[in-house]
Structure 1
């Protein structure tokens, strides 16, 4: 059983003063948006393995073939962007950032809904016009991001509700999470 309060410790990206959640997709360049979209589709192709998502892998493969030149140019531009910003440590910085991007898109509680959105986007990505990934990324990446925003907002509300519960009923005992309904329960030794 997890320790008391364990479910309230997940780090949620904060909101900027402008109301933008500071995720791996906030404040990025156009090239980074294209690459993050590609990364999200890659995560989906590797992790969305249910039968209803079977087209994802083929759509992703088509996307990569159709946009080989622009993706290569984008990758080169990003390498230059990281080199200019971080100097000799650019490769470590770029690798660390990309690890955060992949981990972000693979967040387990979000994956089912992410798979649905990525599946829809995979058809559009496979048909996007060559040379126009910047246009596609501008509308597609926010659709991916919306899944995470919905989760983060719900999780923040859960923490508010949990604090109110603890304030009203006390925070003693062991806290467990009802995985089916996402409800917090407080189990005190000796009570039914």
Structure 2
């Protein structure tokens, strides 16, 4: 019993000593999500905490046209087991919403003319390129294709007069896979910075009571 008391006293008075700051690390670094590059650029957040994507603060016409652009990207880029139906659904949407989409396109161009004057076409082209590139980002490809199929399926029952309202609700659904990726990438950045500093989660120490029960089973 004296031996047990000495062992328990030594165990309960032990302190956790942090390793030297320059200690070599043997654990693997965190990996960027969805196969993204370690130096991937993602949009900054605005004052409301929203990512500064090309889909912020749009008019009704712009929202409708961005939905059309997103679904065009899906029809061209979602090459999976459902690609034939995706293309067919997109073509049906273009036929069913021909007038509402034409009105949205005209409204967007009119707005650009009013805001940018003689150079409106160049500004419009740059913005549309930005929109298409946004929806074509590879890390969110699979989630985006799923969202696009869901939006196309719901669009089958939308009347032209309702399309602008439908687009306002559909656009966040189409954007969500990308903002989800951005949040995951921010988490990765924090974890990678912590790994570079050599931070480690605290080591759980056994309590004196636990140690007593463990050692009593070993010491006669």
State the TM bucket, normalised to the shorter chain. Answer: 0.7 to 0.9
1:7 counterpart residue number: 37
Deviation for aligned residue 1:124:
1.2
After TM superposition, the structure 1 stretch with the greater mean CA deviation from structure 2, 105-114 or 8-17, is 8-17
2:117 counterpart residue number: 87
Size of the aligned set, in residue pairs, is 165
Superposed CA deviations along residues 130-188 of structure 1, whole A, max 9, x for unmatched, are 1211110111111111111100000111111111111118xxxxxxxxxxxxxxxxxxx
Is 2:178 aligned against 1:153? no
- Among 164, 168, 175, the residue aligned to 2:198: 168
What's the RMSD between the two structures over aligned residues? 1.6
Counterparts of 2:147 and 2:61 in 1: how far apart (Å)?
Answer: 22
Deviation for aligned residue 1:54:
2.6
Counterparts of 2:58 and 2:168 in 1: how far apart (Å)?
Answer: 11
1:178 counterpart residue number: none
1:111 counterpart residue number: 141
1:61 counterpart residue number: 91
User: Structure 2: which 5+ residue stretches go unaligned?
Assistant: 1-35, 200-220
After TM superposition, the structure 1 stretch with the greater mean CA deviation from structure 2, 12-21 or 74-83, is 12-21
Counterparts of 1:147 and 1:86 in 2: how far apart (Å)?
Answer: 32
Deviation for aligned residue 1:112:
1.0
CA contact (8 A) 1:67 1:131 kept: no
Counterparts of 1:87 and 1:120 in 2: how far apart (Å)?
Answer: 38
Q: TM-score, normalised by structure 1?
A: 0.82
| Structure with max Cα Rg | 2
Superposed CA deviations along residues 5-45 of structure 1, whole A, max 9, x for unmatched, are x9343221111111221101011111111000000000000
Q: TM-score, normalised by structure 2?
A: 0.71
Greater RCO (CA < 8 Å, at least 6 residues apart): 2
